[in-house]
Chain A
Amino acid sequence: MTAPGPESLGMQASAGDRATAGRRRSRAHRLAALVPRTEWAYRPRIAATAFIIVTQVFLYVLLWRALYGEGDDTVAGMDVTQAVTYSVLATLMGTGRVIMEGASQETAQSKIRDGSVVFWFTRPVSARRYCAWRGLGESLYATTWLLSGLAIGLATGLVAAPPSAAAASVATLSYALGQGVFYHLALLVDLTSFWTITSFGINRLAAFAQTLLSGALIPLWFFPSWFTAVSGHLPFSATVHVPVSLYTGRIAAADAWPQLLEQAVWCLLLAAVGRLVWRRAARRLLVLGG
């Protein structure tokens, strides 16, 4: 380590002049690589995730087959193949959501706790856009898990193919909308830390609500009808229950439009709330920590 003279650091400041600023074009979309890259840095965690999925799927298959018995009966409008397909897909959809699981250091909560959240507000990409690109990457990462699992499931015969091409397309559209709803839900929960600083309680509650009300744990069809009806109109069901029900044909493709519309409305509504909360959060920022 030598101490170089001033001539070795000819650092001329440059951003001041407009010409340079013009040459700079933000490539913020590359932030989408953040979550997959981080996950790749923790390869054992990927193995652990795969193990958990396999175990969970195995248990669901055993459980539904045992409960349905030998017959061809339908329960709550689903036969055993539909029930297994529902649960396998619901399990797969819940994985890879590292931000929601809090497995990442990249949450507002952990950034606020160590104070580094300030850097979300000192860069030319706003915190809202930063999180949105990162969220898109997370979603694509989760989708990779889903598609890989789906391919294996179809190959092994655990998962049934959708009943029609129409069902497949509306399920895909519904999944995309569901990802939007999921992102904004998780974001809103995370952003509460701007007010509460530690939002462990809120996080746990939200994670519980998400698991139960999205159908990720038990298909919503199996609950009492009033519960199914109520939860069907909450945003949580838009993330898993609706796309999976469309995929399995439990909701007919012909009846899909009201569902898709409701998902879209939730997506827009939550995005609007999210925008508002971001603005407030930015104002409320950084009273924390010296």
Chain B
Amino acid sequence: MSAPPPAIRVDRVTKTFRSWESTEGRSWKRPFQRRRARRTAALSEVGMTVETGEFIGLLGQNGAGKSTLIKVMTGLLLPESGTARLYGLDPYADRERNAHTMGVTFGQRTQLWWDLPAHDSFTILRDIYGLPEAEFRATLTELNDVLALSSFWDTPVRFLSLGQRVRCDLAAALLHRPPLLFLDEPTIGLDVLVKDQVRTLLGDLARTGDHTIVLTTHDMAEVEALCRRLVVIDAGRVVFDGERGELAGAAHHRRTVVVEFETPPGPLSLRTAEVVSADGTTVHLRPHPGAEQRQVTDELLSAHSVRSVVFDGTKVEDVLRTLYARRPETAAAAAPTGGPA
């Protein structure tokens, strides 16, 4: 018997969008003119495999192609070439079968029924997914324990605050207990408390070990708290795919250390780091490869009186900035402009 297929396999997926060049001015003839079509690549030759139980952060700038990739993986878009598979099934052709195994949220969009109380949306979804009543009740109770929904789920959705609605939407996505989750910016626009609740829930799901989660977000704290593996997309290409810890190396971005001395230290020569710049009492250092934080601090403290040592540049955010800045000219030209993100 062969090994079970991975939760997600995306193989050399390419998707381009057609956009129309707008003609200049506001001529009355405009609606009748043929506009020239232009093709912009949203994804080019994207490939990745996600095994069951992985929690991956899908990162990239606005318009980099993250949402397009999510749409390909969830079967909403058919790629021009390449294949996507969820547990071995084609997400586009087997849409309805796959629906049972995946839960999705799309940023600020809601799948709840606007005019009805939020709880009605849950029962409608129960009917759509055909959930047995007992299973439905049990799941809803569990979700309510973490997301505290019951205080407002009798309110029509149109009256809910953003935070309340997002929590309901997350519950709606999880109601049928999908093993595979696609969460496209689930915490966008939320306050700290709600973000914490959402993060707690996602962390809990990850710890069960049988949920595969793909998260896109611009919140780096979230990525650092939740995702071990990161996939960075830029201009429709995967520019990084690996453990969070490796990302720094991938960007050839070494940490800098900012040292504040009591008095100007004068010319410095250190075993563990090189001096990048010095300005009075402030000195920027770059540790040599292999030098650990403690070794650098030990050396500094043993010979100088130091007011503070700050290790900087270890954040995912800084690394991403470097990665994005390295975008080659050709890739930049092919980036979708004003097209769908």
Contact = CB atoms under 8 A, between A and B. Distances in A.
- The interface residues of chain A, by DSSP majority, are classed as loop
B127 interface: yes
Contacts of A283: 78
A66 interface: no
Contacts of A13: 177-180, 208, 210-211
Interface stretch (B106-114, B249-257, B261-269, B326-334): B106-114
Interface residues of A, number: 49
A25 B174 contact: no
Contacts of B290: none
B12 to A, nearest CB: 21
B148 interface: yes
Nearest to A21: B100
A218 B32 CA distance: 37
Contacts, number: 155
A37 B117 CA distance: 10
Given A26-B129, A28-B128, A11 B96 contact: no
Contacts of B22: none
Contacts of A114: 109
A9 B127 contact: no
Interface string B258-279: 0000000000000000000000
Contacts of B201: 9
Nearest to A23: B132
Nearest to A1: B148
Interface stretch (B69-77, B240-248, B292-300, B317-325): B69-77
B67 to A, nearest CB: 5
Interface string A112-128: 00111011011111100
Given A16-B87, A26-B130, A37 B116 contact: yes
A180 to B, nearest CB: 24
A41 interface: yes
B142 A9 contact: yes
Interface stretch (B192-200, B217-225, B304-312): B192-200
A249 to B, nearest CB: 41
Contacts of A287: 17, 77, 340
A122 B102 contact: yes
B286 interface: no
A286 interface: yes
Nearest to A16: B179
B142 A290 contact: no
Contacts of A4: 145-146, 200, 204
Given A9-B201, A121-B95, 13 more contacts: A4-B204, A9-B204, A11-B211, A24-B100, A30-B127, A38-B113, A41-B115, A105-B114, A118-B109, A124-B128, A125-B96, A126-B96, A287-B340
28 contacts: A11-B139, A11-B177, A11-B211, A13-B210, A13-B211, A15-B177, A15-B178, A15-B179, A16-B179, A23-B132, A24-B132, A26-B128, A26-B130, A27-B130, A28-B128, A31-B128, A38-B115, A38-B116, A41-B116, A116-B109, A119-B104, A123-B128, A124-B128, A125-B128, A283-B78, A286-B71, A290-B62, A290-B63
